[in-house]
Chain A
Amino acid sequence: MENMSLEDIKNFPSVKKWSENLLEQWGDVPDLDKRIGALVDFVNYVGRDPDKIVEECLRQSDEGMRIKLKARREIIAEIAEFEKEHGGRRAGNHVRSFLIHNGIAMSPSVEAGV
Chain B
Amino acid sequence: MEFKKVVGNRRSIRYYQPWRDVEREKIQTILEAARLASRVMNAPYPKPVVVYRKELSEAEVNSFKTPTTTAQLDMAPVWIFWYANMDALKDAHENGTLHGLVDVGALNPSHGWSHSYIEDIVWAQLLHPLSSSKEIMTTLVSEETALAICQALLCAVDEGLGTQLVSCNFAVANEMLGVPSNYIPVWVQLLGYPAEDPQTGGQRPRETLEEMASEGKFGNPFVPDPKVTEKLREAGMIQDTAPAPWRQAELRALAHMLDLPE
Taking Cβ atoms with an 8 Å cutoff, the residues of A that contact B are 22, 25-27, 69, 72-73, 76, 89-90, 93-94, 96-97, 100, 105-114
A22 to B259 alpha-carbon distance, docked (Å)? 17
Contact A89 B259, CB 8 Å, known A72-B67, A107-B67, A107-B70: yes
Rounded to whole angstroms, the CA-CA distance of A112 and B259 in the bound complex is: 11
Residues of B within 8 A of A (CB): 18-19, 53-54, 62, 65, 67-72, 74-75, 77, 248, 252, 255, 257-262
Chain A nearest CB: distance from B124 CB in Å?
44
| CB closest residue in chain A, given B71 | A107
Which B residue's beta carbon lies closest to that of A67? B67
B259 touches A106 (CB 8 A): no
Q: Is the CB of A110 within 8 A of B260?
A: yes
- B residues near A112, Cβ cutoff 8 Å: 18-19, 53-54, 74-75, 77
Say how far A20's CB is from chain B's closest CB, in angstroms.
14
Chain A residues whose C-beta falls within 8 Å of the C-beta of B53 in the assembled complex: 112
How many whole Å from A3's CB to the nearest CB in chain B?
24
Most A CB contacts (10 A, CB to CB) among B18, B54, B258, B260 go to B260
Selected from A73, A76, A93, A100, the residue in CB contact (under 8 A) with B259 is: A93
How far, in whole Å, are A93 and B75 apart by their CA atoms in the complex?
17
The 6 residue pairs across chains A and B that have the minimum distance between CB atoms:
A110-B74, A96-B261, A93-B261, A107-B70, A97-B261, A112-B18
Nearest CB of A to B112, in Å = 48
Contact B259–A90 (Cβ < 8 Å): yes
The 24 sampled A-B contact pairs (Cβ below 8 Å) are: A22-B262, A25-B262, A90-B259, A93-B259, A93-B261, A94-B261, A97-B261, A97-B262, A105-B68, A106-B67, A106-B70, A107-B67, A107-B70, A107-B71, A107-B72, A108-B259, A110-B18, A111-B18, A112-B18, A112-B53, A112-B54, A113-B18, A114-B19, A114-B259
A109 B74 Cβ-Cβ under 8 A: yes
A108 in contact with B68 given A26-B248, A113-B19 (CB within 8 Å):
no
Bound-state CA distance A97–B255 (Å) is 11
| A111 and B259 contact, CB distance less than 8 A | yes
Nearest chain A CB to B78's CB is how many angstroms away? Answer: 12
- Nearest to A99 among chain B residues (CB) is B261
Smallest CB separation, B14 vs chain A (Å): 9
Which residues of the other chain, A, contact B255 by a CB distance below 8 angstroms? Answer: 93
CB <8 Å contact, B54 and A76:
no
Residues of B contacting A73 in the complex (Cβ-Cβ under 8 angstroms): 67
Tell which of B62, B68, B72 has the most Cβ of chain A within 10 Å: B68
Determine how close the nearest CB of chain B comes to the CB of A77; give it in whole angstroms: 11
Which residues of the partner chain B approach A105 to less than 8 Å between Cβ atoms?
A: 67-68
**In chain A, what residue has the closest Cβ to B17?**
A114
Point out the residues of chain A lying under 8 angstroms from B77, CB to CB.
Answer: 112
Measured between beta carbons, the chain B residues less than 8 angstroms from A93 are 255, 259-262
Chain A positions within 8 Å of B257 at CB level:
114
Q: How far is the CA of A92 from the CA of B99 in the complex (A)?
A: 60
Residues of B near A89 (CB, < 8 A) are 259
| Given A112-B75, A113-B19: A107 and B69 interface contact (C-beta under 8 Å) | yes
B18 surroundings in chain A (CB, below 8 A) = 110-114
Q: How far is the CA of A22 from the CA of B261 in the complex (A)?
A: 11
New A-B contacts (20) at CB < 8 Å, excluding given A97-B262, A112-B74 = A25-B262, A26-B248, A26-B252, A26-B262, A90-B259, A93-B260, A93-B262, A94-B261, A97-B261, A106-B70, A107-B72, A110-B75, A110-B260, A111-B74, A111-B259, A112-B18, A112-B75, A113-B18, A114-B19, A114-B258
